[in-house]
Amino acid sequence: MPLSVDAACVPLRVHYVAAEPANLLATPGTLAAIGFGAAAALTDDPRWLRLPLRPLGAEAMVEVWRIDATVEHGRTGAVRYAAGGGWLFGAIELDEAAQGGLEQAAEAAYRALAAFQVSRAEQHVLRVWNYFGAINRGAGDDERYKRFCAGRARGMGAGFAGGYPAATAIGVQDAPQRLQIYWLAAAAAGTRVENPRQTSAWRYPRHYGPSPPTFARGMRLPGGAGLAISGTAAIVGHASQSAGDLDAQLAETFANLGALLDAAGVAGGFDARSPLKVYLRDPAQAARVAAFLDARLPAAVPRLLLAGDVCRAELAVEIDGWRLMSG
């Protein structure tokens, strides 16, 4: 039996670029291209995804995933995908009303994801991003984030019995009635990483909702490709920290990111191969956040500042990203 399944995954590179999607998609090795904001172009290439997260930086950037391998792409039911070099990009966008609500849309999306994934050689779901509107609307157990968590957990079903993927769940502020999810899967398994400063999300106490969030804090990618970093905020243990104090939340978030990199055994911190996305609830604070990031990060670290709502109303900012080994 061949032992080295890892060899199936070639290096993966993620960049933020100011480029037209048509040019990116025409470049060999483009696995995915994700545009941000209402001004981003629309094309029906399965590798292209437009997220209505408003960019707060000067330039409209596209997140592009690249591999040195041939990329095939297509559609299966509601799933759009691209695959090559042992990696797979997948995406599903569902209209909430057509599914009977957000919770049902989340369940349907994850059922479709799981059903699609068992049909693929890239069977290991490593990392999922989830975006929908009005994430904090609704009181108590009816808050939309909590309904989303319930639907997601049901839709995951037995497909994630081996462990949850790394993830992000963020509210878009332009309030579309649409759930958008996209993911990275691979032919070889990753290694889940939890954060020693934080309670694992699936063990959050009942107070945070009837169905705990089903994600891992990070995922070490196969083939030594690096680390996928889940959405990280100012949560220590299971408790939100420093409500109302943006700088303190940023400092706590960076302490959590540092602890995650340490737990993953990634040396050297963030660099040019560590693109980060920063989601900010109050766009008026963008300059303040940019200044904090400039002080805290090497200049080479690519960063994208986006308007987005964190799943806990008291939290102002969340950061996710990558710490890859190829640039």
Contacting residues toward ligand 3EB, per CB under 6 A: 130, 167-169, 201, 213, 215, 230-231, 233, 235, 311
**Closest distance of CB 1 from ligand 3EB, Å:** 35
Q: Which is nearer to ligand 3EB, 117 or 195 (CB)?
A: 195
**Closest distance of CB 303 from ligand 3EB, Å:** 18
Q: Is 241 left (phi over 0), alpha (psi -120 to 50) or beta?
A: beta
Extended strands (E) in 154-221: 166-172, 178-186, 191-193, 218-221
| Backbone φ, ψ for residue 143 (5° rounding) | -55, 140
Alpha-carbon distance of 15 to 226, in angstroms, equals 14
Q: Which is nearer to ligand 3EB, 120 or 197 (CB)?
A: 197
**Closest distance of CB 320 from ligand 3EB, Å:** 7
Q: Which is nearer to ligand 3EB, 30 or 130 (CB)?
A: 130
Q: Which is nearer to ligand 3EB, 167 or 221 (CB)?
A: 167
Q: Which is nearer to ligand 3EB, 65 or 215 (CB)?
A: 215
Strands of 30-36's sheet in order across? 12-17, 62-67, 30-36, 48-51
**Closest distance of CB 163 from ligand 3EB, Å:** 14
**Closest distance of CB 235 from ligand 3EB, Å:** 5
The upper half-sphere exposure of residue 21, i.e. CA atoms within 13 Å in the direction of its Cβ, equals 21
Alpha-carbon distance of 60 to 57, in angstroms, equals 7
162 DSSP assignment: T
